């Protein structure tokens, strides 16, 4: 009469950072046997899985050996060995996202070309082979130079305002992206399953510190006009379908001063811009990922309440064993949820945790986010 859900699937995660950690916190609600591979046996996800394997996610042999033992595999970081995943896929392992999609996204040049091929809006760009090739692009400045491979968390991006900045450029294949006058930065996470069914999370808005040009906090849902929402959602769905792969796609978008929506970049996995979904949405991005991996129905992405989110970042000038200053003050705040990632050492700019704030009142969400930023510091003795 009803379908049965039988033996526990073995699912592997490549990478053991905080995204893996949060995936595993949620995995415990589902019928799944969890495996993680990562070099560092003290990484944030290591102790929350059934089976931890020490290995290099960039190594063909390590990834192949690890994946061969799993029914399904996913990633929590893009810098994995795609060739091994392609071989595993041929041999019948479910890989989400598909290696072909990952191959496109992993390289920023291929990613930009993909948007262009699919006539999806993105900032004008040129590809450059190395630093000296920048000499031919002076007419294209100001621009953002993005390393083709290996960029992560703000590394691998260099703003080139004028000719003199060229010496700051990367000496490797890169994308040169024409500077856009940004009104807002938003992100939409799309879930797409093997049948092509999609579910969209409400867009998140990134608020930047105007002085430091650093992400200050996030608010969901984004405060945008209805017509911009429709445009952003249409782009997000089209893009997710274009990848021809089940998975979660976190799509970062620029809204420019004309109300045009441009794709900035995409991550084919759970993403920082979806952390708040743990508390703020019925089905969190982490639960959604398990539903995809276990071939279960898509979840409900509706927001229970609006949310803001502050990343807890290692303070400048602090390296070594971590100390959370002001933790108690933040724990006294109402509707505030703390997530520490269990990293023993802090470094300047390292993501050490986050705080989610729920509330109906946007002003209150903003005020509390600023309060958390002011109170809670990630330092070292």
For binding to a second copy (CB under 8 A), which residues are involved?
Answer: 2-8, 21-22, 24-25, 28-31, 34, 47-50, 282, 291, 296-297, 299-300, 302, 304-305, 321, 323-329, 331-332, 334-335, 337-340, 342, 344, 358, 375, 377
108 marked as binding residue: yes
Long-range pairs for 112-118: beta carbons < 8 A, 24 or more residues apart = 112/175, 112/177, 114/242, 115/239, 115/263, 118/238, 118/239, 118/242
Identify which of 373, 366, 200, 371 has the alpha carbon closest to the alpha carbon of residue 281: 200
Q: 82-90 and 60-68 are packed helices; what angle lies between their axes, rounded to 10 degrees?
A: 30
> Is the CB of 130 or the CB of 282 nearer to a second copy?
282
Q: What minimum distance in Å lies between the beta carbon of 359 and a second copy?
A: 10
185 annotated ligand-binding residue? yes
Query: Is 233 annotated among the ligand-binding residues?
Result: no
Residue 207: CB minimum distance to a second copy, A: 23
CA 120 from chain centre, in angstroms, equals: 20
180 is in an annotated binding site: yes
Minimum distance from CB of 43 to a second copy (Å)? Answer: 12
Task: Give the Cα separation of 278 and 270 in Å (integer).
Answer: 12
Q: What element of type H or E holds 177? A: strand 174-178
The pair of structure tokens assigned to 375 is 């109170």
318: alpha, beta or left? (left if phi > 0; alpha if psi -120 to 50): beta
> Which residue, 99 or 299, is less far from a second copy as judged by CB?
299
- Nearest CB to a second copy, comparing residues 25 and 87: 25
Taken in order 41, 47, 52, 58, the sign of the CA dihedral is: negative
Distance in Å, CB of 307 to a second copy, minimum: 11
Least separation in angstroms between residue 196's CB and a second copy is: 17
CB distance 345 to 322 below 8 Å:
yes
Report the C-alpha gap between 122 and 337 in whole angstroms: 35
178 labelled binding-site residue? yes
Comparison of 42 and 171: residue with beta carbon closer to a second copy: 42
Binding residues: 108, 146, 177-180, 185, 264-265
Binding residues for ATP: 108, 146, 177-180, 185, 264-265
């Amino acid at each position: 009469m009803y379908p049965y859900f039988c033996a526990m699937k073995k699912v592997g995660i490549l990478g053991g950072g905080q995204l893996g950690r949060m995936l595993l916190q949620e995995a415990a609600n589902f019928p799944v046997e969890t495996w993680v591979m990562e070099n560092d046996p003290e990484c944030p996800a290591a102790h929350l899985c059934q089976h931890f394997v020490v290995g290099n996610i960039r190594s063909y042999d390590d990834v192949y050996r690890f994946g061969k033992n799993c029914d399904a595999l996913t990633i929590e970081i893009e810098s994995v060995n795609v060739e091994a995943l392609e071989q595993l896929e041929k041999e019948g392992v479910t890989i989400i996202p598909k290696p072909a999609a990952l191959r496109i996204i992993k390289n920023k040049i291929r990613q930009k070309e993909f948007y262009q091929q699919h006539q999806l809006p993105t900032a004008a760009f040129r590809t450059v082979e190395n630093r000296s090739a920048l000499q031919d692009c002076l007419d294209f400045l100001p621009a953002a130079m993005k390393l083709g491979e290996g960029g992560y968390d703000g590394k691998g991006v260099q703003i080139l305002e004028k000719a003199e900045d060229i010496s700051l450029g990367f000496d490797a294949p890169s994308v040169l992206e024409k500077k856009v006058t940004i009104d807002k930065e938003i992100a939409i996470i799309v879930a797409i399953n093997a049948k092509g069914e999609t579910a969209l999370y409400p867009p998140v808005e990134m608020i930047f510190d105007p002085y430091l040009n650093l992400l200050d906090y996030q608010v969901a849902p984004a405060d945008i006009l209805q017509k911009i929402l429709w445009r952003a959602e249409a782009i997000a769905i089209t893009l997710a379908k274009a990848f021809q792969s089940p998975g979660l796609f976190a799509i970062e978008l620029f809204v420019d001063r004309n109300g045009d929506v441009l794709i900035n970049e995409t991550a084919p996995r759970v993403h920082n811009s979806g952390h708040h979904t743990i508390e703020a949405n019925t089905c969190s991005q982490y639960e959604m990922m398990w539903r995809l991996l276990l071939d279960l129905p898509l979840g409900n992405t509706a927001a229970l309440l609006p949310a803001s989110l502050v990343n807890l970042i290692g303070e400048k000038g602090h390296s070594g064993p971590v100390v959370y200053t002001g933790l108690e003050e933040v724990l006294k705040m109402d509707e505030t949820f703390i997530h520490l990632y269990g990293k023993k050492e802090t470094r300047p700019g390292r993501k050490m945790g986050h705080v989610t704030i729920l509330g109906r009142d946007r002003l209150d969400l903003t005020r509390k986010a600023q309060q958390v930023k002011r109170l809670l510091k990630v330092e070292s003795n």
